[in-house]
Structure 1
Amino acid sequence: MGKSTIAAKYVFEYKTICYFNNLQENRNSPELFLQSIRQQLINRYQLKDVDKDKDDLSTLLVKTTAKLSTNAKLIIVVDALDEVQQEPGGENILYLPKILPDNVYFFLTRRRYDLNKERLYTEGLKKEYLNLTKYDQENQHDIQKYIRFCLENDPEHKDGLQNWIETKKITSDAFVNELATKSENNFMYLRYVLPAIAEGKYNDLNLTQLPQGLQDYYKTHWERMKMNDSSKKIRVMILFILVEISTPISGEMIYEIINEDECDVQDILDEWTEYLKPQTIDEDICYSIYHASFLDFLKAKREFNPTRELFEEVNQRIANYLE
């Protein structure tokens, strides 16, 4: 829906204190959140009387408000509460305070959730909600504008997109309108599908056959890779190692777990570049699933009987490796 983009735009314009949780990068714990916010507050407001190891967030906020000028506000942006890793309990998510000092505000984002599982308790504070699903018309306009930009101005993809349109003998307007509908107002869908079209990955499909929504896109990709085919066993094992561990993992660790040729494993990781996020950790190139929604889709594949036995094998190999 664009929640992270809105949060990032707000931070960029107003230079607010912020923390962006990220499941794939393992930056989603209360401890890392507090460490980051504490350091930002200390640096920005030149806090001198702070116990860097013991002061909780409530104490820090009180000390910070003493530094605020008249009528100034302290606003802290926290993105992706749904990606936070925290043990169940009666505490707030990220152990956020139940009471805030005057002129202190939290701007929080999360994916759709059950209100009964909000885990955000307050005492005498006003909470306001903005549901982005109510802005379908505005989102649709932005989606169409983005597609047209990629089609006409994106130096990396415009030639491939225009060639696809000409080959299919359709108009630019028809392409923009149909793809906007298929996106279901999800920019992540466009981030995947537009480059795929430009690169010729959908040359065998016409406009109406393109995936409907992000989930259908994932399903289409899964089927095209023939992940359930017995001949693709190494691909299935690599992918589900990424799913089971769910934090960045090196290519070396992957091929040691599955006991396959290093070059074969690396070729597959390189082929999946649009779905994986490579990053260097301790001089090793590590990989993780690019986005939480794709990880959710892959986890749901555990319900498919054809791969259940293979899951057990993958989990056992991971356990053996860790031992």
Structure 2
Amino acid sequence: MLLTSIALADALLGWLTAHAGDALVRGSARKTLGDAQQRAFRHVIDSAIGEAVHTVANELPERRRKELAKQLRKSRAQLTGDPADYLELSHMVQAFLDSPAGVQLLSGFDVDGARLSDALTFWITDGVARDALAGGALAPLATHSQFSGLFDLSEQTLTTLGSLTGRVEETLEIVRALAERIDHTGQPSPAMAFTALVAERTRLFTGRRQLLARIDAALADPGFPSGYLLVTGEPGIGKTALVAHLVSSRGYVHHFNSRSEGITSTTAFTSMVCAQLAARYGLPQPPQGEERLGSAALSRMLALAAAQARADAPVVILLDALDEAEQPPSGGNRLYLPAVLPTHTYVIATSRELSDDFLTVSSLRRFHLSDDAPENLSDITEYVNGRLDTSADLAGRVATAGLTRDAFVTDMVACSQGNFLYVVHVLADLCDTDSDRAALINPAALPVGLRDYYRTHWRVMKDRWPAVLADKYETALRCLAVMREPVPVGAWVDFTPGDVDAQVARHVVREWRQFLNRRQSLHNNEPRYAVYHSTFVDFLRDEGPGLEPYERHVYQVERSMLLRLLRDTRS
């Protein structure tokens, strides 16, 4: 984690002191907290109400949960006051729920008032902490002498509320956001933010001609003057590669969500897209902090950009992995995407198929990448043939196994079950010139499907681990899988239990390199690592001990660091 850098930690504390100080202690809270803070606080309260109702009333029908949340939001003023009253939050929440008005509100709902009070206190405190430490409008609260005590109270509610593991936004993201505010020098431009990912995913891009033609036809259709184009498909079928190809070939405004890299928040999406729109269309940047307040900033920027658009030159935004973006607690579209887009404005989004209604908009066209569709299998065939043409090592392995080219291609396509990620991984193993790693896959006996490939790879690799180190290697890899942010080796070790050291972590990097993304730090040249694809995380979740014990451990380390930062800031 970045907090392992003492210099950066000092810089963060200095930034908080310089920009927030002891404003609430030195002067009138109501003078310090103006309109922006009021809006930010209302946003935190509304989100917290949705989370609290979900936490304590999950057995109620959805309609009743929504009704309870609606009633609580109507009583927001009596329930929580305003930011100036925040330090009395726990007393205010409990007092209101115990009052005649609160009892009347809860009548008819099978909800325990005490647990609801605990849940509201937890989620409101958590929301304020995230906003404050991210340099948002509520930053002055983070320096108040009583804040860490209130956060400790929120921590205690975990006992009564059960497991909320992983729901607090990772301290990593908070630190990164603050670091970017401290020093903008050396930061990549928005257009360059995903350069490495785009280059990686487009390097061997193949096919998709029919889908691209259908997308182009929709963008040119007079009967479809604006709206959303949603491309769905199973994980690993190539949705991210498609978006990367469109970025590379068309230069569209873009954003890539990634659960494994911690890029899932509405703020990250809105700030990235607004910055690209501003640069492309010569628009003023949104005021600092406005991107945190839902879709208002994005809608305003889209309207300004659309004023310059034409039917033959529309505004197009690419949005990858919408399913991996955070869900709004009170319903609505993920990333608070607007229901209606201006004329000549389009969002092309990708997602795995989901059962929830995660995109409710006025104009939508769907395109599905089916794993058994002839055009998908044809694209995979073209990809395998292309790799055989360009890799003498691969062709040699196939010939040594006694297979003809046609027989190998046929087997690969059949065993892939239409999944591009399977083909990428298997061919990478077969092309590996390392004699030990080449034994991972037998060209004449391919695993069937991505899950079977992971299982085969996992079994062979574990057999190769020295018995005395096997537990350490597995612990290190599983901990990395639950970190939702690329981390340097030092931070990775800090978050890992037991006696895992840097040498073990580096060995895991060498042995599992194809399953890991490598990113360079923006602040130094130190490499950071994250799991390459969510399908591998899903496999580890179902295999052996799963990931829950490691999630709990990482979560507790993160909370301890966050509390320590708050206490250090206070002192």
TM-score bucket (shorter structure):
0.7 to 0.9
Residues 247 and 108 from structure 1, CA distance in 2 versus in 1: closer, same or farther, beyond 3 angstroms?
same
Give the whole-Å Cα distance in 2 for the aligned partners of 1:314 and 1:230.
Answer: 25
Q: Does 1:243 align with 2:481?
A: yes
Structure 2 matches for 1:173-188, cutoff 5 A?
173-188=406-421
Give the whole-Å Cα distance in 2 for the aligned partners of 1:35 and 1:111.
Answer: 24
Which of structures 1 and 2 has the bigger CA Rg? 2
TM-score for both structures, normalised by structure 1: 0.85
* Aligned equivalent of 1:172: 405
What letter matches 2:420 in structure 1? F
Q: Does 1:30 align with 2:263?
A: no
Secondary structure of the residue that 2:318 maps to in structure 1? Answer: strand
What letter matches 2:247 in structure 1? V
Q: Does 1:147 align with 2:384?
A: yes
* Aligned equivalent of 2:167: none
Query: Residue 240 of structure 1 contacts residue 311 of structure 1 at CA under 8 Å; is this kept in 2?
Result: no
Q: Does 1:191 align with 2:424?
A: yes
Give the whole-Å Cα distance in 2 for the aligned partners of 1:184 and 1:252.
Answer: 39
Structure 2 matches for 1:289-304, cutoff 5 A?
289-301=531-543, 304=544
* Aligned equivalent of 1:287: 529
What letter matches 1:99 in structure 2? V
What letter matches 1:120 in structure 2? L
Give the whole-Å Cα distance in 1 for the aligned partners of 2:493 and 2:503.
Answer: 9
Deviations 1:49-81 (A, max 9, x none): 854543521222222222335764222111110
Residues 192 and 90 from structure 1, CA distance in 2 versus in 1: closer, same or farther, beyond 3 angstroms?
same
Secondary structure of the residue that 1:107 maps to in structure 2? Answer: strand
Query: Residue 164 of structure 1 contacts residue 203 of structure 1 at CA under 8 Å; is this kept in 2?
Result: no
Of the candidates 15, 18, 31, which is equivalent to residue 254 of structure 2? 18
Secondary structure of the residue that 1:173 maps to in structure 2? Answer: helix
Secondary structure of the residue that 2:519 maps to in structure 1? Answer: strand
Query: Residue 275 of structure 1 contacts residue 289 of structure 1 at CA under 8 Å; is this kept in 2?
Result: yes
Deviation at 1:84, TM superposition (A): 1.0
Query: Residue 17 of structure 1 contacts residue 75 of structure 1 at CA under 8 Å; is this kept in 2?
Result: yes
What letter matches 2:530 in structure 1? S
Q: Does 1:59 align with 2:273?
A: no
Query: Residue 237 of structure 1 contacts residue 314 of structure 1 at CA under 8 Å; is this kept in 2?
Result: no
* Aligned equivalent of 1:133: 370
Deviations 1:175-226 (A, max 9, x none): 1110111111211112111121122545476545211111111111111123
Moved more, 286-295 or 128-137: 128-137
Residues 316 and 48 from structure 1, CA distance in 2 versus in 1: closer, same or farther, beyond 3 angstroms?
closer
Secondary structure of the residue that 1:56 maps to in structure 2? Answer: helix
Deviations 1:134-166 (A, max 9, x none): 77211111111111111122xxxx222222222
Give the whole-Å Cα distance in 1 for the aligned partners of 2:367 and 2:486.
Answer: 33
Give the whole-Å Cα distance in 1 for the aligned partners of 2:285 and 2:533.
Answer: 40
TM-score for both structures, normalised by structure 2: 0.50
What letter matches 1:175 in structure 2? F
Give the whole-Å Cα distance in 1 for the aligned partners of 2:558 and 2:247.
Answer: 42
Secondary structure of the residue that 2:460 maps to in structure 1? Answer: helix
What letter matches 1:263 in structure 2? Q
Give the whole-Å Cα distance in 2 for the aligned partners of 1:72 and 1:144.
Answer: 34
Query: Residue 243 of structure 2 contacts residue 320 of structure 2 at CA under 8 Å; is this kept in 1?
Result: yes
What letter matches 2:462 in structure 1? K
* Aligned equivalent of 2:190: none
Of the candidates 484, 490, 499, which is equivalent to residue 259 of structure 1? 499
Q: Does 1:9 align with 2:242?
A: no
Query: Residue 253 of structure 2 contacts residue 276 of structure 2 at CA under 8 Å; is this kept in 1?
Result: yes
Note the residue ranges of structure 2 that are not aligned, 5 or more in a row.
Answer: 1-236, 291-295, 561-571
Query: Residue 479 of structure 2 contacts residue 554 of structure 2 at CA under 8 Å; is this kept in 1?
Result: no
Moved more, 173-182 or 207-216: 207-216
Deviation at 1:261, TM superposition (A): 4.1
Secondary structure of the residue that 2:351 maps to in structure 1? Answer: coil
Of the candidates 114, 118, 132, which is equivalent to residue 357 of structure 2? 118
Query: Residue 30 of structure 1 contacts residue 86 of structure 1 at CA under 8 Å; is this kept in 2?
Result: no
Residues 312 and 51 from structure 1, CA distance in 2 versus in 1: closer, same or farther, beyond 3 angstroms?
closer
Query: Residue 183 of structure 1 contacts residue 214 of structure 1 at CA under 8 Å; is this kept in 2?
Result: yes
Query: Residue 322 of structure 2 contacts residue 350 of structure 2 at CA under 8 Å; is this kept in 1?
Result: yes
* Aligned equivalent of 2:5: none
Alpha carbon RMSD of aligned pairs, Å? 2.8
Identity %: 28
Give the whole-Å Cα distance in 2 for the aligned partners of 1:299 and 1:317.
Answer: 15
What letter matches 1:121 in structure 2? T
What letter matches 1:112 in structure 2? E
Deviation at 1:99, TM superposition (A): 1.8
* Aligned equivalent of 1:105: 346
Residues 214 and 254 from structure 1, CA distance in 2 versus in 1: closer, same or farther, beyond 3 angstroms?
same
Deviations 1:294-314 (A, max 9, x none): 11111222xx3xx37x96478
Secondary structure of the residue that 2:366 maps to in structure 1? Answer: coil
Deviation at 1:88, TM superposition (A): 3.1
Note the residue ranges of structure 1 that are not aligned, 5 or more in a row.
Answer: none
Give the whole-Å Cα distance in 1 for the aligned partners of 2:277 and 2:332.
Answer: 23
Of the candidates 480, 492, 514, which is equivalent to residue 274 of structure 1? 514
Deviation at 1:317, TM superposition (A): 7.4
